[in-house]
Chain A
């Protein structure tokens, strides 16, 4: 399966290169296009005790009032080749902060799209999962109003693409449109885990998206399921818990060891969203619910509301978002005496590492300086409990749940 996908990706790239050569030879600019997007951004987060990150894939964030370009800066280029009236090939490469702290270019999309008519679209290759309502990519700052998609809502969705296929069908019902999309594939990404790096490549992903569009309104329902391929790095704790459980005859310790596994465990994602976009006014709202089979992640709910109103070239906006996980009861069943107390402590730390309970208030303004360049200034006030740590990178004991993030970006397309 993997080899086949690799082969099809290589084939796509070769085709795209041939397309470029052909387009140049014929002087035909319309069948081939090369475009790009980027963000130059600096941000600072006031707290000394956590690192604010854009989403959980980022291994390092910003802290201590230091201005940094680390989390938001990105550059991408995309080639489209209309090989035939019904067939288009698309490739996109992006440089951004990755799980290993590098900014090595990453192949985001490489797919063939077949549209036998204007109602049906089939795509295969490396494609995006459109968890955001308005786009598959969450990295094109120019395309959305705030500096970044809500970290409370999109933070836990650390994967950007998958290798597989999607099929969408749009039907007209009077003045309204209904669009359904099915997608399935395997993720190829690694993410920053706590601790170390979590390899999620080979995890299966599938889901369904239904959109209803009428006039200025868009409504969406989305469900997705991922089954993880690898365990998060909890060694050697599970083996020690098993050993202690067997030696002392404590079945809860064996169950506790099993609860730390993520390989073969599924997570389910549900979301509902609405957009109202009429003239100068833009309103958006989404809610989600994430359910995990693995014990290392707490189930969560999140949501956001965002409103903007264009006044000439400036669009001020305000938003609120929240992310909460549900505490679970858990125990190793082992007596709290040395050396078992250390196992209990380590287990507690893992079980609490995925806890979040926070609200973010956002104010900002976007200036559209030219039709391909925008400047943004945004202030986020994060107010949470001191146990709210999963949403950040590296927290220490003095974290009190409050930080203010000031961000400014220049977003462009070319």
Chain B
């Protein structure tokens, strides 16, 4: 009976951690001097409208292209748009010779390395993959 309860607790914990890691967060370099960003800050940075941070730095957003539906989930939660709509949005700006889209990297580890090494860099990732190299600045929720 005691073993059963322990197993149940363990199962609950597993479920919780799976749930928690499905959470998306936005991370920055800890030295960037960013405490928190608001939803509209993140929209302005990722859609290339305004990338000037309060600290005077220029934000350098990163897109992760190679991990299943991570990018699609991020934009769906941030602005409720499909990837095709985001691509069409960037086609407007890129072929007008305006702002560049976020830097594309293959996976979360590459994004983490870039955020750790570039002071203005920002990336989204699953909460479970956050480590000490980066700081969470915005929570996209489940």
Interface positions of A (Cβ within 8 A of B): 30, 35, 37, 76, 78, 80, 82, 88, 90, 92, 109, 111, 113, 117-119, 121, 123, 127-128, 130, 134-137, 140, 142-144, 170, 172, 175, 177, 213, 215, 278-280, 310, 313, 368, 370-372, 374, 413
Contact = CB atoms under 8 A, between A and B. Distances in A.
B49 A123 contact: no
Contacts, number: 96
Given A135-B92, A140-B91, 20 more contacts: A30-B103, A35-B95, A37-B91, A76-B95, A80-B100, A92-B97, A113-B97, A130-B96, A137-B92, A137-B95, A142-B87, A143-B91, A144-B88, A175-B38, A177-B50, A310-B82, A368-B84, A371-B83, A371-B84, A374-B84
Contacts of A175: 38, 40
B52 A118 contact: yes
B58 interface: yes
A177 B44 contact: yes
A36 B93 CA distance: 13
Nearest to A367: B84
A143 B92 contact: yes
Contact of A128 (B79, B83, B84, B96): B96
Contact of A119 (B50, B82, B85): B50
13 contacts: A35-B95, A37-B91, A78-B97, A119-B52, A136-B97, A140-B91, A142-B87, A175-B40, A177-B50, A368-B82, A372-B87, A413-B87, A413-B95
Interface of B: 38, 40, 44, 49-52, 56, 58-59, 79-85, 87-89, 91-98, 100, 103
Contacts of A130: 96
B59 A118 contact: yes
Contacts of A172: 44, 50, 52
A368 B50 CA distance: 28
Contacts of A374: 84, 88
Contact of A177 (B49, B58, B95): B49
A92 B51 contact: no
| Interface residues of A, dominant DSSP | strand
A118 B100 contact: no
B50 A371 contact: no
Nearest to B57: A118
Nearest to B99: A121
A175 B39 CA distance: 9
A142 B49 contact: no
Contacts of A127: 97
Contact of A142 (B79, B83, B88): B88
A117, A118, A170, most chain B CB atoms within 10 A: A118
5 smallest beta-carbon distances between A and B, as pairs: A279-B80, A368-B84, A136-B96, A135-B92, A143-B91
A34 to B, nearest CB: 12
A372 B91 CA distance: 10
Contacts of A310: 82, 85
